[in-house]
Structure 1
């Protein structure tokens, strides 16, 4: 009785596969939004102020970072929780693939969230004249919360590995 139950539980990891496939579709949606933003930038670049252009570029950078985060979670999560990727003979294998356990994946996600939050905060500061002071305060508090959380997770991970 125990062996079949354990095998069934082990095989349920495949229930995560559609979620990772969904992340691939989310990446496709992000690509569409990236090119939409790029198109708007190219059309309006002559009439844009420097600050508005920088805000548009920061949006593109932000979208690129979110895309990288999606790829990292998609590939590492699949490999860590569902099945190892069979990439023998693949010339362009990502160097980090197969080397990132769930602990290091959490650290990378936390660092990515801090970087994305930094870009959002920079966008708020670039548009400070049109942003409510109370809103700026909460953006800073939220960003510092992300930074503190990432630091705490890294510290706890460091302590766990060096016991």
Structure 2
């Protein structure tokens, strides 16, 4: 006998439940997928924070110019200007970090940016992903930590080194942690990419 003779038509309850379950599933999946837009206000908030950093940059620049024009002890003014320049570099590096988080995070976790016709599109955006973004953020944190260490060493010249010895030790430890973390992230990303390439070759 044919297998069709033993098959039974689906009951009305089964036929009625299937579309409802499918509709509910699509609604849940659509809500989960759309929830990524909840991050958009966070990135807009970081843009506002970027504006604050721009104001801080010019405030520190004005303070440095004031020190230069006021004159005084040449060695002290030179040290203060050097610390001021490092402060400006620190602000710029933090601003770069914010830009990477805003653009890279939005591109990776929210929605693709339509920059196909933009001639000034940053080069790193062409191959941005979660792994690349983490490595770039780690590198930026190392650079910022280096600037803070250099500022600290300049500021303690001629001061009682014993008083702030512990603070400098903590800064060095944090800097080393950033270095190790960046190396681990790069190593992990490389292993994952090698695994992806190996799977692609097998298929």
TM-score normalised by the shorter chain: which range applies?
over 0.9
1:35 lines up with 2:47 in the alignment: no
1:134 lines up with 2:162 in the alignment: no
Deviation at 1:13, TM superposition (A): 0.5
Quote the residue 1:11 is aligned against.
34
In the alignment, is the contact (CA less than 8 A) between 2:67 and 2:77 conserved in 1?
A: no
Question: What aligned pairs does 1:95-106 form with structure 2 within 5 A after superposition?
Answer: 95-106=123-134
Higher relative contact order (CA 8 A, sep 6+): 1
Deviation at 1:90, TM superposition (A): 2.9
Deviation at 1:99, TM superposition (A): 1.9
Quote the residue 2:143 is aligned against.
115
Give secondary structure in 2 for the equivalent of 1:162: helix
Deviations 1:60-105 (A, max 9, x none): 0010011111111101111111111123433322222242101100
Deviation at 1:49, TM superposition (A): 2.2
Structure 1: runs of 5+ lacking an equivalent: none
In the alignment, is the contact (CA less than 8 A) between 2:36 and 2:110 conserved in 1?
A: yes
Distance in 2 (alpha carbons) for counterparts of 1:89 and 1:153: 33
Partner of residue 117 from structure 2, selected from 66, 72, 89: 89
CA RMSD of aligned residues (A): 1.4
Partner of residue 124 from structure 1, selected from 152, 156, 162: 152
Give secondary structure in 2 for the equivalent of 1:90: coil
Aligned length: 163
Quote the residue 1:69 is aligned against.
97
If you compute each CA radius of gyration, which structure gives the higher value, 1 or 2?
2
Choose 97-106 or 29-38, whichever is displaced more: 97-106
Distance in 1 (alpha carbons) for counterparts of 2:25 and 2:126: 31
